[in-house]
Amino acid sequence: MTTPVDELQGTIEMDQANERVKISFNRQLEQGDCELTLKFIGDINDHMQGFYRYKYSTLDGEEVPYGASTHFDPANCRRAFPCWDEPNFKATFDITLITPKNLQAISNMPIIYENEYLDDKEWKITKFDRTPIMSTYLVAYVVGEYDYVETKDSNGVSMRVYAPVGKKEHGQFALDIASKVLPFYTEYFNIKYPIAKADQIAIPDFAMGAMENWGLVTYRETTRLIDPEFSSMESRQLVAIDVAHELAHQWFGNLVTMDWWTDLWLNEGFASWIQYLAVDKCYPEFDIWTQFVADTFAPFLVSDALKSSHPIEIPIGHPNEIEEIFDEISYSKGSSVIRMLHDYIGDDTFRKGLHNYLKEYSYKNTVTVNLWSHLSKASNKPVNEVMSSWTLQI
């Protein structure tokens, strides 16, 4: 059933404290499918949340007026357009951008149509393919002056790294990493990467190190673009680790998503462990597991000894609380206990249980005990009993 908007009247109430809007109609809707169309005006802000603008410069220092990017993690999609902005309200998204003709328009999915907008030679309209069903925090679109380097991985997935004009060569190493790591994950999980492209883009002003938007990973420019002639081994290792981390999320986080932010560690702890496994397999000369001890294991021991520490799984109520758990406990302690579990049940068994888990919950939401259940079945060991003592208490 489709009820035209003009047949209904109602009121809109804003709940600023809980970041919600309540729409009350003058009569009860009939049971069935309804279509809700909303007209709204949004701001492009300067706060690195929602849909925001930024300045950037070319290699010779020339400043380009503005670009614009999204950053919706963890609960900022609502700042760009009205939506059910929680991870367990998954949906498909049809993105259309109307932009100046000289700017690149990029989103999660490949472009299916691009042309002049209303015969205006200065503007263009770009339509993107429909996304898989996914959470709102993974939606992304970027507009700006960008160059790119590109390739295809061994499975035919199109890959690009976008960089400000004049800097595209600085994205080549990240592209090389991605073209090796993505096929590794495809084989390790035994589940095909579900999108036709896997792009990365460098954003000058970015609130986090990186964000795993499905099909369009966004990065802080200073952490992703490196000079191929003068970069150190440490810089290359950091780029490799970060790329491997975000690509792991394409399965563990994007394809299968935590039901609520209480299980954030399931996304971040797992990716923070398997990033090392992927880099070690693709670049054994890095001897990357030594970095795990120095950069991941040892630091979390210090944080976990503080009075401010918390269990890996911690209840989250208000959206304002979410960013507080993007910390060493969720990432570093989480990855350390996953590494312990992997060694406890063995790689073959771990992969079998992981594949079954990802297969059952593809395009769905999940909680920690669901992963433990599949690993228990695969290993015939009491994974839930063992791991709960590590994740539910300090």
Q: Over the stretch 312-363, which tens digit does the pLDDT of each residue have?
A: 998 988 778 888 888 989 999 999 999 999 999 999 999 999 999 999 999 9
pLDDT digits (tens, 9 = 90+) for 356-374: 999 999 999 999 999 999 9
Domains of the chain: 43-181+190-231 (3.30.2010.30), 256-391 (1.10.390.10)
Residue 122, pLDDT > 70, answer yes
Per-residue pLDDT reduced to its tens digit, 253-266: 999 999 999 999 99
Residues recognised as catalytic:
246
202 pLDDT more than 90: yes
What's the chain's average pLDDT?
A: 93
Grade residue 190 by pLDDT with cuts at 50, 70 and 90. very high
Least confident of 123-132, 166-175, 290-299: 290-299
Percentage of residues in the chain having pLDDT higher than 70: 97
Dihedral sign for Cα 283, 285, 290, 296, please. Answer: negative
